[in-house]
Each structure stands twice: as C-alpha cells, then as structure tokens.
Amino acid sequence: MTDIVFVLNGPNLNLLGTREPEIYGSDTLADIEARLESKARELGLVIDFRQTNHEGVLVDWLHEAREVRARAVLLNAAAYTHTSIALLDAIKAIGVPVIEVHLSDPATREAFRHISYIGMAAVDEVKGLGAEGYVVALEKAAAL
Ligand code: DQA
C-alpha cells in the first residue's frame, strides 16, 4: 500500500462554486483541492484529485487506484451515485477502500437520491458537511 489517496469527483462537480450554491456551497472544486492538499501534507498523505463528467472514466480511475495500490479512494460520484451499478461493481472489484463523499446529504433530498450504489460497497461515508466533508473523509482515510 502507498500513501496515495485518489479523490474522484463525478459529473457537474466541475461547476461547483456557481452550481446551486444554496445546496452545494460557494467553494469551487479548486478550493476543495487546495484545502485537501494542505490536510494531506499534515497527514503525510499524497492526494491525486480528479473530476470527470463520464461514468466509464470513473470506472477506469477506480481500476487505476488498484494498479497503483492506493491507500483509499474518496469518491463523490455525484448523480452516478444513484444510478451506477458499474461503479458498484468496480468498487467491489478493486480491493481498495472507498469512502463515499457528498457535499449535501442526499438522504434529506428528493427520493431518487435516497439510493446509493456507492454506499453498497463503500467502507464509510461523509455527507452533508459541504466542502469540509472532503477533509473529514481524508482524515478517515488516514485512519484506515
Ligand atoms: C452530490 C449529491 C448528488 O445527489 C448530486 O447528484 C450531485 C452532488 C453531493 O455532493 O451532494 O451531483 O453528490
């Protein structure tokens, strides 16, 4: 195992900062990455922070986490959380612990957000804490 933690972000999270700020806050994804970089240094970890709007790319990156023997993956799969059996299968396949992250708390929102395929295989979850949730998730990854 290495000190690398993959931080994978799914669709529409590139628009954070301007995207429904009343739900997701006003931090951009770059702000979150900067915060995590500094927390990672503190924890002696290295983060590999990425965003894509494409489901298959997330699958490929999960496989890559296995190849590089990442310590953990923090995964905000965004809307694919609620639809993607492919991501569920990938998480089960890689043997790398995945921590589910959401800025909002999907359980308190529309019914279609209540199911999480990621949660069926993730070792832990952080929801509803906004950008700070990524930091909390990294601390959890450090403790694995
Ligand atoms: C989200 C919650 C999802 O329901 C939604 O589709 C997102 C963002 C969050 O971080 O709160 O895109 O994952």
pLDDT in tens, 49-65: 999 999 999 999 999 99
Structure confidence at residue 84 as a pLDDT band (50, 70, 90): very high
Cβ-Cβ contacts under 8 Å for 64 (sequence gap 6 or more): 6
The answer to whether the CB of 9 is under 6 A from ligand 1 is no
pTM strictly above 0.95:
yes
Which residue's C-alpha comes closest to atom 7 of ligand 1?
78
Top mutation candidate among 81, 105, 114 for ligand 1, by most atoms within 8 Å of CB: 81
Which residue's CA is minimally distant from atom 1 of ligand 1? 78
Domain boundaries, the chain: 4-142
Which residues 6+ apart lie within 8 Å of 113 measured at CB? 81, 82, 106, 107
Q: Are 40 and 46 in contact (CB under 8 A)?
A: yes
Q: Write down the pLDDT at residue 134.
A: 98
Mean pLDDT of the region 86-112? 98
- The pLDDT tens digits of the residues spanning 98-109 come to 999 999 999 999
Q: Which fold has domain 4-142?
A: Rossmann fold (3.40.50)
Is residue 63 flagged as an active site residue?
Answer: no
**Contact by Cβ (8 Å): 82, 115:** yes
